[in-house]
Amino acid sequence: MNRVQRLLIASTFSATLVVAVPVSADIAVVGNAGSGIDRLTQSDVVNIFMGRYRKLPTGNVALPVDSTTLKARFYRALVNKDLAEINSYWARLVFSGEASPPQQIATIDDVHQLVTQNMNALSYVDGGQVPDDMHVVLMLSE
Amino acid sequence: MRRLLPVCLGLMLSVTSVVAEARPLTDDGRLTFSGFGTLGLVHSNQGDAGFIRDISQPKGADKGWSARTDSLLGAQVGYRLTDELDAVVQGISRYGEDGNYRPEVSWAFLRYRPDPSVQLRVGRLGWDVYQLADSRYVGYAYPWARPPVDHFGILQLTHIDGGDVTFKQPVGSDLMLLKLYAGRSSSKIYLIDDLSADFDVDSVYGGHVDYETGPWRFRTSYTEVHSDVGFSGSVADQIEQIPFLALDADTVLGDIFGFDRIRLFSLGTLYDRGPLQVQVMWNRSQTSRHEGQIDSGFVSVGYRIDRVTPYVVASRVETSSTNPDNSDIDQRTWSLGARYDVTTNMALKAQFDRIDTRSPGFLWRQDDSDWNGGWSSVFSLGLDFIF
């Protein structure tokens, strides 16, 4: 078996994996590839997206970004809550003037642009469709 | 107005809506507009006294239906000056101390966040005296028709004019939070028949420590309120009209109530994990005369099943002093209700309260001063929304 054949087999194998991932449908929490952050724990991500504590391990201020198309899946996987509960949670913090919710971005392209341009941005994408220029800091299983 | 109109119309028409609370009004997202409201109906079977939501309400809900007790509308405008500095102004229209719906400024402050660990606010702020106290009019934020009256209804202030500072410190995967605040305030509360107390609060200060671990959030807090209290109403007039004694009603009543210096100590726990929500709180307020104190607390348990969250609440308030009088309160309430999330910005609620009033004090409004307690049933329907 020559090198080309091995490469072909390997790529076929990984292509199968890529196809298989959306079935298990995980959510990938992603950041900027150059952010210097390797991994975040689930409680780090809860703290950042729920407005409790927004400091990154690098010391910078995290900029959480909600992707409105995936928002329901993300919060179900992160804190087991639906969007009405998330809005109820934020209503308390916003109208007591204590904290602000993540920035809301409607299209996946805009989320991609924001995360790749801002060193401290964090968002989430479908676990099966992580773009090469985004860095996965946490996988949330659904 | 041309911008507000579509927002209001959108609110009325939206059936399913993916909402971000802060709605940008400008393209750069610096200026935001958002709001909250409640359309509430209360039915009471108590013919001898009027049911109130809190002691700022001059008149209660009499026997039959009333929309006045819980209905309200609030709106907030935010402006982001820099990433660290923003300004927030919030107004509310509700049935409160003036006996009408005249809108008032709830908050108006500058907020400075130089770092995720520190937040400074200056201006008019919510009175964060115990957990949920500064969001008690935001019906969409909690499961109940209204926060338990026995615990939240006795609060004297809604806001302070001053400043606060919050420090956050991670402890492993837990979070510790310290908040300190100080300022001035004013308010009016209604006591027994036709007697109200005007609080001119020279200084109100306090702080709390929160500890958050997993789904738990614990708080312990302490507050002092120093006020000049003026009394008005027919009782005050009668005192001053007593022949030959030349009494000053503020002195006489001030000596009875001891409201010039109130100290509040409280403990609270919130548990929130997946479908289960539990709130447990306790507060002791000490007044400056006759070892007067007000103890209150409640336990609430809710469990979300799809879009419906049924809940039960047990609450209690009791005053004590070495000089008992007819302003003393002793009351327990059992509540059963459910919240139904119609959309992601609108919830319907129904709640049934059985209230065991052993001494109504100033928690009920009564034209017939002979009423000294008994059982009441209060049924509430509410529509809470945010926009």
Domain tally, chain A: 1
B29 touches chain A (CB under 8 A): yes
Nearest to A84 by CA among B181, B341, B276, B8: B341
Which domain range does residue A48 map to?
23-140
Does a structural domain hold residue A14? no
Lowest mean pLDDT among B52-56, B158-162, B252-256: B252-256
B36 and chain A: CB distance < 8 Å anywhere? yes
Residue B64 lies in a domain: yes
The answer to whether the CB of A125 falls within 8 A of the CB of A111 is yes
pLDDT at A25: 76
pLDDT at position B194 is 79
User: Does some domain include residue B44?
Assistant: yes
Q: Evaluate whether residue B80 is within a structural domain.
A: no
Closest CB to B274 among A66, A80, A101 = A80
User: Residue A54 falls within a domain, yes or no?
Assistant: yes
Between CA A79 and CA A93 the distance in angstroms is 17
Q: Is residue B378 part of a domain?
A: yes
Residue B234: which pLDDT band, with cuts at 50, 70 and 90? confident
Better pLDDT: A28 or B371 = A28
**Could you tell me the pLDDT band of residue A20, with boundaries at 50, 70 and 90?**
very low
In chain B, the number of structural domains is 1
Are A53 and B121 inside 8 Å of each other by CB?
no
Are the Cβ atoms of B18 and A88 closer than 8 angstroms? no
Q: Within a domain: residue B224?
A: yes
User: Residues B167-184: pLDDT tens digits?
Assistant: 999 998 899 999 999 999
* In-domain check, residue A121: yes
Contact B344 A84 (CB under 8 A): yes
Residue B1 forms part of a structural domain: no
Residue A5 confidence class, pLDDT cut points 50, 70, 90: low
Residue B108 lies in a domain: no
Overall average pLDDT of the A120-129 stretch = 94
> Per residue, what are the HEC states of B254-310?
HHHHCCCEEEEEEEEEEEEECCEEEEEEEEEEECCCCCCEEEEEEEEEEECECCEEE
Distance, CA of B217 to CA of B73 (rounded, Å): 29
Question: Which of these, B81, B78, B72, lies nearest to B90 by C-alpha position?
Answer: B78
So what's the pLDDT on residue A68?
94
Let me know if residue A9 belongs to a domain. no
CA nearest to B287, candidates B267, B265, B272: B265
* CA end-to-end span of chain B: 16
Instruction: Assess if residue B346 is contained within a domain.
Output: yes
Q: Does A59 touch chain B (CB under 8 A)?
A: no
The CATH number of whichever domain residue A77 belongs to comes to 3.40.190.10
The model's pLDDT over B290-339, given as tens digits with 9 standing for 90+, comes to: 888 999 999 999 999 999 999 999 999 999 988 887 788 999 999 999 99
For B292, half-sphere exposure in the C-beta direction (CA atoms, 13 angstrom radius) is 20
* Burial tier of B11 (Cβ tally within 10 Å: 0-12, 13-18, 19+): middle
Average pLDDT taken over every residue of chain A = 86
Q: What is the CATH number of the domain that holds B372?
A: 2.40.160
Are the beta carbons of B52 and B185 closer than 8 angstroms? no
- Chain B residue numbers with beta carbons less than 8 Å from the beta carbon of A43 are 173
Q: State which residues form the domain around B140.
A: 40-73+121-386
pLDDT value of residue B370: 81
Closest CA to A68 of A12, A8, A22, A109: A109
Of B111, B135, B212, the CB nearest to A95: B135
Strands A103-105 and A63-67: parallel
* B140 and B40 Cβ atoms separated by less than 8 Å: no
Could you tell me if residue A36 is inside a domain? yes
Q: Is the ipTM of this complex over 0.85?
A: yes
What is the structure's pLDDT at B193?
66
Among residues B304, B318, B312, B293, which one has the least CA distance to residue B373? B318
CB contact under 8 A, B74 and A87: no
User: What pLDDT is recorded for position B326?
Assistant: 76
Is residue A1 a part of any domain in this protein?
no
A87 contact B CB<8A: yes
Which chain A residue shows the shortest CA-CA distance from B74?
A: A95
pLDDT in tens, A21-37: 445 579 999 999 998 99
